[in-house]
Structure 1
Amino acid sequence: MLNKYPLWKNLMVVVILAVAALYALPNIYGEDFAVQVSATRTTTVDTQVMGRVEDTLSELQITPKALTLEEGQLLVRLSSDAEQLRAREAILRELGSDYVVALNLAPATPEWLDALGATPMKLGLDLRGGVHFLMEVDMNEAMRKILGQMRDTIRTDLREERIRYTRVERDGNGVSVTLRSAEDFQAALRYLDGKYEGYTLSDNDTTQEITLRMTETKLAETQDYAISQNVTILRNRVNELGVAEPLVQRQGADRIVVQLPGVQDTARAKEILGATATLEFRMVDDENSVRDAEMGRVPFGSELYPNRSGGNVLLKEDVILTGDHIVNASSGFDENQRPQVNISLDGVGGDKMSLATRDNVGKPMATLFIEFKATGDRDQEGNIVFERQEEVINVANIQTRLGSNFRITGLDSVQEAQNLALLLRAGALIAPIQIVEERTVGPSLGQENINMGMQAIIWGFVLVLAFMVMYYKKFGLVANLALASNLVLIVGVMSMIPGATLTLPGMAGIVLTVGMAVDANVLIFERIREEIKAKRSPQQAIHHGYDSALSTIADANITTLIVAIILFAVGTGPVKGFAVTLAIGIVTSMFTAIVGTRAVINAIWGGKRIEKLSV
């Protein structure tokens, strides 16, 4: 029998539309004004802190909509932005600088929807508001770190070649090597000459010194690498923060632009983006006296560092491993329920750790935590001055030969373990950065853009609905039902995709989709009219109309989809936003216009003896 869908196909259409409607539903509920309280390295957010916050709000005669304590963070939901600002100031006074008190917008999705994983669409900076950072990279520190790695490489290579040296140190934009004897000098000269690409070699046989210095080309490449790596790592950190549709891009020779949609208070973002935490693993120098080192007699090849638990620790100068080789890090607890960070290394890092610990079983190894903090000053050349803070966070005897997986203990709190794991997982910055410019995009501008975009969508939708009803009558009503379903599908899919974000260009893509969505039905309905004029029966006209128009619809939409994919692949933020909604709209419109309308038309007119179609 013509024009009858099997039961499974009708059920498929109903289920797809129902799921899309379910995941589009959270967008109706909007967001609550909220204050978020999180801990710093030395504190934790617990029920006691929650009680202090409740008492503070009570004194202000503010009744919060809800207080929730999850994953070491307290979220206070409030009724208005005025209450939000008052509450934030009072909570900050009460808790002090030991806690980060940030403004936030929290989805007001009901718990039953949230339990199903249904969340509202993420909005871009142009719609939701947010913050704009301009960051400057400390190129001096970048060069120091890269040349430090070069120094360690040369030391290792000379030891493997059994060439004796007295000193290998950084010298300007190069590394200087002083050999022990004339024989070692000649051997090193032969070995180092031409070994390191991008370095020029100079020697002084009187002092038995060889200097490897970067060429101008290598220097430019190294600086470019430092910026590019920082951009990549900042992108990883933004992803760890959970900010959707961020913009992280290079600007000029040593600056980076970061835009974070939806962020109202920048404290947490600054803490994570600006942190340059990394780790170094070194052997403890247990052969020399710490007390002598504290009195200024630090032995050659060792360095003195403060221990977090008190006192000082004498470490070997040679670095076993740096945080650059860490591929994954997660926070957890040891057997005594103390916070720890579980570390996974790449292949090279695993080999280095295995080689270093093979011959040192039973000896102590230290984990050195290094962090840079901007002082706010600049040197004579105009470069930012950073304070390098170093402390030993863990000393443990090597029980067995280590590989690519091990753990770090000795951390003060769960929050510190989570922050350290986040930073190590996202990567250590090649060089420290400072925020030199900070701008906030107000939510009022974003709301104005949303209102104008919604008006464009509504007017476009209404005009298309009116045209279809007037021109195609009852079949036009079916097309309008498909168009409404298409909008629900777009919103539902955008809400389901974790990385999808609605921007102002994305709203333009939806407006365009509204106009394009009926093209398929226009083609089908016109073909049905042609079949009726050719004296076919109504059932045959519907059947042939859909079948013959299918190839034309597919060709037109596939070519547009290819363009949308190309725009997404090569475009930047705003272009990507347009491409995403356009691509989703094309796929959903083909489903509703071909499968959806066919299901409705089959249900109303299919399998019946009819004399005339209202098309």
Structure 2
Amino acid sequence: MFQTQQKIISNQYPAWKYLLLIVITVLGITYAMPNIFGDDPAVQISPAKSVEFTQQTQQQVANILEQSNLAVKSSVFENGKFLIRFQNAEDQLKAKSLLKEELGRSAVVALNLAPATPSWLSGLGGQPMYLGLDLRGGVHFLMDVDMEAAVEKAYQRNVDELKGLLREQKVRYLPFEAQKNQIEIAFASDEYFQNGLSVIQAEFAQRFIITPDQSTAKPRVVLTFSDATIAETQKYALQQNITTLRNRINELGVAEPVIQQQGERRIVVQLPGVQDTARAKEILGATATLEFRMVDEQGDAERAQKTGFAPNNAELQHFRDGRPILLQRQLIVSGENVINAQSSIDPQQGSPMVSVTLDGAGGRKMLATTKKNIGNRMAVLFIENRIDTIEVNGEKIKKRVTSKDVINAAVIRGQFAERFQITGLDSPQEAQDLALLLRAGALAAPMEIVEERTVGPSMGQDNINQGFLSVIIGFLLVLILMVWRYKFFGMIANFALMLNLVIIIAVLSLLQATLTLPGIAGIVLTVGMAVDANVLIFERIREELKNGSIQNAIYSGYEKAFVTIADANITTLLAALVLFSFGTGPIKGFAITLSIGILTSMFTAILGTRAIINWYYGNKRVEKLSI
């Protein structure tokens, strides 16, 4: 009688797998470490608009700090800004009040939290995770987009395009402007009416509902946006405003802002770590843009200012020093056409300037305008929109304020298109601010803040403490259960669980992800799920011990449980990806930590524990397993 001889398994890993585990463990610990050191209470001092910090400012700040008797941890002046760290939040608040009082309107003094990561760790690229609004504190705004203004603005853009097209086709029309919900074009004769109608239908049929009307003395065409065009215009305005806000806030240095759509016309803006609401409003309210217009050389600006009436197709504006000037109503290009802007110094005059680059459409319009107007003046109109809160009869009312200033009005010496320079600015700081706002883009529609909340750092610290406590309690319960149930093998699983937690934190830190309370919930869930794989493996090993040798049982336990583990984790990962794709901010945070936790737990629960067990039991004669 012949018996089949069972193959003996040695359970050994090649050296590269042990090396991989060691490298990942060391990297995980290194890049998770920055989260241990926490943050320092800090005060950030930035120059106000049209102000540039000098050596005198640095000396003034140093004297204020020296005379304040506050425990200053460090003071650094970089990139034109001060970052002053303190030992505690009480000194931080006192310093902020003192600095704001002494520096006045020349500086913006804001509270901040600066990472306390050691320099050697920062040199390796180690940075702590960003903490969300619910953990770090900060400000929350709900902003409403004026969709009616967006549609009106779209009508105005089409007026210029219609006039240009009719002039090209030599169709005579009577002067017209966009009304609130329509454009009405009257023609000089029936012949021009028919020609104009054909041109409009050929070019604008998909954009407008075109209604010809010959019942009036002058035949006319009435254009109104279709429902699809209105919906597209409003969608574009919302998305453009979100993009503009994100660009602007990123360039102004606010770390990990949350900017997302809510409903059909509102935008949620969360700025973690920003505790100064006024500073945050200044960031969001910087809705400046530019308009390039020809100067009306025929009219008398002084007379228009005295009488209050400007000539037809002109409007009265003012330079910053109060001098009046008449500008043509027709817009050449605006901030929407700007694709890049850089501040520099004019080499000829030594004054600040901004070099502007336009998009293709803006370049063509600028070329056509400058070609026909050499020797005439073109003005740069700076427009700033903001929301001021005024008190009327004891009630606070929000009022939209628009200020317009002509920066300069220079003579066109030669034709140019996409690239040119803006001069006449007051200071290098103003040139930098203007370039920043132009790079960030113009808002497609005005906005106002309809809700604002401030989450204090103490409340955020309470959330951190409670979240940390929940992770620790869940972690300890799993550790105790695994040791009680699986003895030495349970201790190995616990080591893998700790390594898994370290790697999750390291990955979140490397990605500079924002950790929120839902994110902590994802980590807590991962802690419970991470041992599932080891439970399946260990139970399978127990079953296999009844059928053969110990080495074979270990090998079979890992091999046969792998398919089940992979299926369970892949389905959970797919659910997390769906949550991330269709969820909003908090749900995305939960999905991110859950997804990372699933991937890292697969690595630690399978490769990690197998490596330790192979090292301890592999290729040895073992009589009994502690499982």
Shorter-chain TM range is 0.7 to 0.9
The separation in 2 between residues aligned to 1:113 and 1:334, in whole angstroms, is 42
- 2:50 is matched with 42
Percent of aligned positions that are identical: 51
* 1:574 aligned residue (561, 573, 586): 586
> In the TM superposition, what is the alpha-carbon distance from 1:231 to its structure 2 partner?
4.2
Deviation at 1:421, TM superposition (A): 3.6
Report if aligned partners of 1:127, 1:449 keep a CA contact under 8 Å in 2: yes
Counterpart selection for 2:528 from 493, 496, 515: 515
* Map 1:191-590 → 2, pairs under 5 A: 191-192=199-200, 195=205, 196-198=207-209, 200-202=211-213, 205-207=216-218, 210-214=221-225, 222=233, 226-227=237-238, 229-240=240-251, 241-244=253-256, 246-250=258-262, 255-284=266-295, 300-308=312-320, 311=323, 315-331=327-343, 340-356=353-369, 365-376=378-389, 385-393=399-407, 402=416, 404=418, 408-498=422-512, 500-538=513-551, 540-590=552-602
Aligned AA for 1:268? Answer: R
Q: From the superposition, tell whether residues 529 and 330 of structure 1 become closer, same or farther in structure 2 (CA, over 3 Å).
A: farther
Shift of 1:601: 2.3
C-alpha separation in 1, matches of 2:262 and 2:537: 49
> Paired residues, what number?
610
**Structure 2 CA distance, aligned partners of 1:308 and 1:60?**
39
- Greater shift in the superposed pair: 521-530 or 507-516: 521-530
CA distance in 1, matches of 2:293, 2:140: 39
| In 2: Cα distance, 1:348 partner to 1:92 partner | 45
Q: Deviations over 1:266-304 (max 9, x none)?
A: 233212212221222334566877777777796654555
Provide TM-score, normalisation by structure 2.
0.86
C-alpha distance in 2, partners of 1:11/1:400? 68
Listed as ranges, the matches of 1:86-97 within 5 Å are 86-97=94-105
Deviation at 1:207, TM superposition (A): 4.9
Aligned residue for 2:406, secondary structure, equals strand
**Matches of 1:576 and 1:435 in 2, distance apart?**
25
Superposed displacement of residue 484, structure 1: 0.6
SS of residue matched to 1:95: helix
Q: Which residue of 2 aligns with 1:52?
A: 60
Quote the Cα distance in structure 1 between the aligned partners of 2:232 and 2:553: 68
Q: Is the CA contact 1:237–1:422 (under 8 Å) kept in the aligned structure 2?
A: yes
CA distance in 1, matches of 2:455, 2:397: 29
CA drift at 1:133: 1.9
| TM-score, length-scaled by structure 1 | 0.88
Partner of 2:612 in structure 1?
A: 600
Task: Between 551-560 and 277-286, report the one with greater CA deviation.
Answer: 277-286
> Who is 1:78 aligned against?
86
CA distance in 2, matches of 1:268, 1:375: 14
**What is the distance in 2 between the residues matched to 1:532 and 1:153?**
82
469-478 vs 84-93, which deviates more? 469-478
**Quick one: which of 4, 9, 14 aligns to 1:6?**
14
Distance 1:384 1:202, change over 3 A: farther
Range 551-560 or range 318-327, more displaced: 318-327
> Letter of the aligned partner of 1:13 in structure 2?
L
User: 1:399 & 1:272 partners in 2: Cα distance?
Assistant: 37
C-alpha displacement at 1:485, in angstroms? 0.7
CA shift in 2, pair 1:143/1:120, >3 Å: same
Change in Cα spacing, 1:402 to 1:549, as seen in structure 2 (3 Å) is farther
Deviation at 1:576, TM superposition (A): 0.9
* 1:167 counterpart SS class: coil
Unaligned runs of 5+ in 1: none
State which drifts further: 311-320 or 52-61.
Answer: 311-320
RMSD over equivalenced CA pairs, Å: 3.4
Following superposition, the deviation at residue 158 of structure 1 comes to 1.1
Alpha-carbon distance between aligned partners in 1 of 2:92 and 2:127, rounded to the nearest angstrom: 22
Q: In structure 2, what is the Cα distance between the partners aligned to 1:549 and 1:338?
A: 73
Unaligned runs of 5+ in 2: 1-8
Q: Confirm or deny that 1:170 pairs with 2:178.
A: yes
What residue number does 1:111 align with? 119
Give yes or no for contact 2:188–2:218 (8 Å, CA) kept in 1: no
Q: Quick check: 512-521 or 420-429, which moved more?
A: 420-429
Cα distance in structure 2, aligned partners of 1:236 and 1:199: 38
